[in-house]
């Protein structure tokens, strides 16, 4: 005769999770996710399996249920060994059974290596928390650990309704009542109808199986209770859809409203093999936020919950792949096993290559700024002198001097000259230097306006345009008329593209670039520009640079006082008022809505 208790003891001693008994085959147990035969066991007979069921099942009511329904769920305990959840059923006219081992000791959240957000979820005051996953994924173990956390930290009344009772809880700070379907109550429905009159703070429902159970659980969560339950689904999106499918079609929107108003979290689990031969729980976590609530209410957006989970790290959310990455990084799971269990192996491979990063964060920018500062300090302390040796190094040093001159003016401006600038711009600096120290602020203001270039030139606006476009070329030419060295602020590729596409001309002894429709000829008697304003063929709108020159705006080398309208330079409003053409869009002019006058822009700033 087969000794079922000895087999159960061996199951617990070896660390297995399930014992499988079937006629005409040897007993097997599930160890680390794989079925292995018991050592030295022989094939069972039909009498062996039927005798094992009658040895463990002594309840007459359960025996009658098995005789009528040919299947039954019950629990069995061996003193000093453990508890077992047993399912007996018939197959091909013989009896089979599966016994799940349930340890007496309940492991903590830390011992199970679950994420810290699980503790925050267990601390919720009200709402519904769902733990989902396939059979054997550790849902009951996770729920028992969360109930144990509440039991050890809060003085609350906990009522559990299970079929059958699995983990036994001892009272610590909380008071726990555990009810088993078939022994303590007839069904989940009847137990849930009465549970609200039992003054519970926390309700644990072993499984939501039908519409009435789901609706009662959601109603309990709406009345201020914290409800835990399970579903056999694989992720958060499927869980939402499964709950809605319990209801008839005309109640789907109402069901969505109930879920959106009561749901606190969905925890979806899988067990993955670890490098030491065990298994680790891998959890996808969804928490309720305003964005999640909107997606639950909108059927078209529910399928996008995965995107919210991916981006919800601030709230403790994580996808399966992100949880797998944490296990791999901690050394608990190998890369090969993680690739097998990943939801999207391709995306998981990219996640590994990016070291878990899915985008640039503010922390990344701060680290880059620190590294940049350290690099600049290293250059300034001596590395630059070594690189500047020889003719090539001297050329780099001259280029840096030109860039410094373009960005903030040369120190020689105090003595009346601006290095690398046009004479028209350096004149104001010379006059300020001659006027004495009191004129320093005027000189700095003049140099600042000179660095901006022509009145309509805005360096940051030009950088937004694609190199080679007329608007970009016009602005680059205007910014470089008074200060040709500003061109060094642009990338070499940009400058080369402009040089190859645009004609070059001489302006005050410096070479600058004009737009393709370069201006030729005198304007308002200006001797430096002979001829009239030329236009390209066709009905082309006038470029702002042409309009300003046509209105008398000063060019390189002109007297700064010429071309002004009522003491100021012509702006976009003047162009519009004189009917010279439709004004250009703000994006074309660099986004400056206050016109082309740099003085006017400074006043606003």
Q: What would the pLDDT profile of 295-329 be if each residue is shown by its tens digit?
A: 999 999 999 999 999 999 999 999 999 999 999 99
Categorize the per-residue pLDDT at 239 as very low, low, confident or very high, splitting at 50, 70 and 90.
very high
Closest CA to 255 of 227, 291, 301, 217: 217
Give the distance, in angstroms, between the CA of residue 499 and the centroid of all CA atoms in the same chain.
43
pLDDT of residue 500: 58
b/e map 164-191, b = 16+ CB within 10 Å: bbbbebeeeebebebbbbbeebebbeeb
pLDDT of residue 420: 40
**Shared domain check, 286 and 222:** yes
Closest CA to 175 of 202, 142, 194, 197: 202
pLDDT of residue 436: 47
Give tens-digit pLDDT for 516-555: 444 444 444 443 443 444 444 444 444 554 444 444 444 4
The chain-wide mean pLDDT, for the chain, equals 75
| Residue 544 forms part of a structural domain | yes
- Return the HEC string of 545-580: HHHHHHCCCCCCCCCCCCCCECCECCCHHHHHHCCC
Strand partners, 19: 29, 99
Categorize the per-residue pLDDT at 110 as very low, low, confident or very high, splitting at 50, 70 and 90.
very high
Categorize the per-residue pLDDT at 182 as very low, low, confident or very high, splitting at 50, 70 and 90.
confident
Give the pairing type, strands 94-102 and 82-91.
antiparallel
| Residue 169 forms part of a structural domain | yes
pLDDT of residue 399: 67
395 vs 218, more confident: 218
Token match 């007459």: residue? Answer: 60
* Neighbour tally for 569: CB within 10 Å: 23
- Its domain, for residue 444, covers 397-449
| Residue 364 forms part of a structural domain | no
423: helix, strand or coil: helix
Interatomic CA distance for residues 86 and 508, integer angstroms: 97
**Shared domain check, 270 and 194:** yes
pLDDT of residue 211: 87
**Shared domain check, 529 and 517:** yes
| Residue 27 forms part of a structural domain | yes
Q: What is the CATH number of the domain that holds 279?
A: 3.40.50.300
CA angle 364, 365, 370 (to 5 degrees): 100
- Return the HEC string of 178-241: EEEECCCECCHHHHHHHHCCCCCCEEEECCCCCHHHHHHHHHHHHCCCEEEEEECCCCHHHHHH
C-beta of residue 449 within 8 angstroms of C-beta of residue 413: no
**Shared domain check, 179 and 33:** no
What pTM value is reported for the model?
A: 0.60
**Shared domain check, 534 and 477:** yes
74, 102, 130 - which closes a domain? 102
| Residue 216 forms part of a structural domain | yes
| Residue 528 forms part of a structural domain | yes
318, 334, 366 - which closes a domain? 318
C-beta of residue 143 within 8 angstroms of C-beta of residue 106: no
Interatomic CA distance for residues 324 and 352, integer angstroms: 10
* CB proximity list for 407: less than 8 A, separation 6 or greater: 451, 489
pLDDT of residue 575: 47
**Shared domain check, 520 and 425:** no
Give tens-digit pLDDT for 240-292: 999 999 999 999 999 999 999 999 999 999 999 999 888 999 999 999 999 99
| Cα–Cα separations (whole angstroms), residue 546 to 55, 86, 364, 475, 532 | 102, 90, 45, 12, 11
Give tens-digit pLDDT for 350-360: 888 887 776 65
pLDDT of residue 466: 40
104 vs 563, more confident: 104
**Shared domain check, 458 and 445:** no
**Shared domain check, 484 and 440:** no
pLDDT of residue 401: 66
C-beta of residue 8 within 8 angstroms of C-beta of residue 81: yes
102 vs 402, more confident: 102
**Shared domain check, 202 and 222:** yes
Kindly state the average pLDDT of the residues 64-71: 92
The helix (H) or strand (E) run that includes residue 291 is helix 290-297
Categorize the per-residue pLDDT at 209 as very low, low, confident or very high, splitting at 50, 70 and 90.
confident
Lowest mean pLDDT among 154-163, 331-340, 566-575: 566-575
Interatomic CA distance for residues 54 and 331, integer angstroms: 46
pLDDT of residue 104: 86
Kindly state the average pLDDT of the residues 168-184: 93
Domain count, the chain: 4
Categorize the per-residue pLDDT at 368 as very low, low, confident or very high, splitting at 50, 70 and 90.
confident
Kindly state the average pLDDT of the residues 418-423: 40
The helix (H) or strand (E) run that includes residue 284 is strand 279-287
Interatomic CA distance for residues 354 and 364, integer angstroms: 13
Q: What is the CATH number of the domain that holds 92?
A: 3.30.450.90
pLDDT higher than threshold 60 for residue 495:
no
318, 345, 377 - which closes a domain? 318
**Shared domain check, 491 and 555:** yes
Q: Does residue 341 have a cis peptide bond before it, meaning omega lies within 30 degrees of 0?
A: no
| Residue 580 forms part of a structural domain | yes
pLDDT of residue 375: 66
**Shared domain check, 61 and 41:** yes
Interatomic CA distance for residues 556 and 510, integer angstroms: 10
| Residue 368 forms part of a structural domain | no
pLDDT of residue 479: 43
Interatomic CA distance for residues 287 and 263, integer angstroms: 8
Categorize the per-residue pLDDT at 210 as very low, low, confident or very high, splitting at 50, 70 and 90.
confident
**Shared domain check, 423 and 313:** no
Percentage above 70 pLDDT, the chain: 60
Categorize the per-residue pLDDT at 491 as very low, low, confident or very high, splitting at 50, 70 and 90.
low
């Amino acid at each position: 005769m087969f000794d079922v208790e000895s087999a159960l003891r061996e199951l617990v001693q070896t660390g297995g999770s399930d014992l499988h008994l079937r006629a005409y085959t040897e007993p097997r147990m599930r160890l680390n996710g794989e079925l292995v035969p018991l050592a030295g066991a022989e094939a069972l007979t039909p009498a062996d399996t039927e005798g094992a069921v009658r040895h463990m099942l002594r309840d007459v009511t359960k025996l009658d249920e098995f005789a009528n329904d040919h299947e039954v769920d019950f629990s069995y305990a061996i003193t000093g060994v453990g508890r077992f959840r047993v399912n007996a059923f018939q197959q091909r006219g013989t009896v089979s059974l599966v016994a799940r081992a349930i340890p007496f000791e309940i492991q903590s959240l830390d011992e199970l290596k679950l994420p810290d957000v699980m503790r925050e979820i267990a601390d919720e005051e009200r709402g519904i928390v769902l733990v989902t996953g396939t059979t054997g994924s550790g849902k009951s173990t996770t729920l028992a650990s969360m109930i144990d956390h509440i039991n050890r930290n809060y003085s609350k009344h906990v009522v559990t309704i299970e079929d059958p009772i699995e983990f036994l809880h001892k009272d610590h700070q909380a008071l726990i009542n555990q009810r088993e379907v078939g022994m303590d109550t007839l069904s989940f429905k009847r137990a849930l109808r009465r549970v609200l009159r039992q003054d519970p703070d926390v309700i644990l429902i072993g499984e939501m199986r039908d519409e009435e159970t789901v609706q009662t659980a959601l109603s309990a969560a709406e009345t201020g209770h914290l409800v835990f339950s399970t579903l056999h689904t694989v992720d958060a999106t499927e869980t939402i859809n499964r709950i809605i499918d319990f209801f008839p079609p005309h109640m789907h929107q109402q069901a969505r409203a109930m879920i959106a108003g009561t749901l606190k979290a969905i925890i979806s689990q899988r067990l993955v093999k670890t490098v030491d031969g065990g298994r680790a729980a891998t959890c996808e976590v969804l928490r309720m936020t305003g964005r999640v609530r909107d997606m639950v209410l909108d059927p078209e957006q529910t399928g996008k919950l995965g995107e919210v989970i991916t981006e919800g790290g601030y709230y403790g959310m994580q996808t399966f792949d992100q949880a797998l990455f944490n296990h791999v990084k901690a050394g608990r799971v190998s890369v090969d096993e993680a690739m097998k269990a990943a939801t999207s192996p391709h995306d998981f491979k990219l996640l590994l290559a990016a070291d878990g990063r899915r985008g640039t964060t503010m922390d990344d920018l701060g680290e880059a700024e620190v590294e940049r500062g350290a690099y600049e300090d290293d250059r300034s302390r001596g590395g630059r002198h070594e690189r500047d040796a020889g003719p090539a190094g001297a050329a780099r040093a001259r280029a840096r001097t030109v860039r410094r001159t373009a960005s903030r003016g040369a120190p020689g401006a105090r003595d009346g000259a601006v290095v690398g600038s046009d004479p028209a711009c350096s004149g104001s600096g010379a006059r300020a230097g001659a006027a004495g120290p009191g004129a320093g602020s005027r000189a700095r203001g003049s140099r600042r306006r000179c660095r901006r270039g022509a009145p309509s030139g805005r360096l940051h606006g030009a950088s937004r345009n694609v190199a080679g476009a007329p608007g970009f070329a016009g602005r680059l030419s205007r910014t470089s008329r008074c200060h040709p060295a500003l061109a060094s602020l642009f990338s070499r590729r940009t400058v080369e593209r402009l040089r190859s596409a645009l004609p070059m001309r001489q302006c005050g002894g410096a070479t600058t670039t004009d737009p393709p429709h370069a201006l030729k000829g005198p304007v308002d008697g200006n001797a430096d520009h002979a001829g009239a304003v030329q236009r390209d063929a066709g009905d082309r709108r006038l470029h702002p640079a042409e309009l300003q020159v046509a209105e008398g705006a000063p060019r390189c080398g002109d007297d700064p006082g010429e071309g002004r309208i009522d003491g100021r330079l012509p702006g976009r409003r003047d162009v519009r008022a004189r009917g010279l053409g439709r004004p250009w869009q703000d994006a074309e002019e660099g986004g400056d809505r206050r016109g082309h006058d740099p003085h006017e822009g400074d006043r606003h700033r």
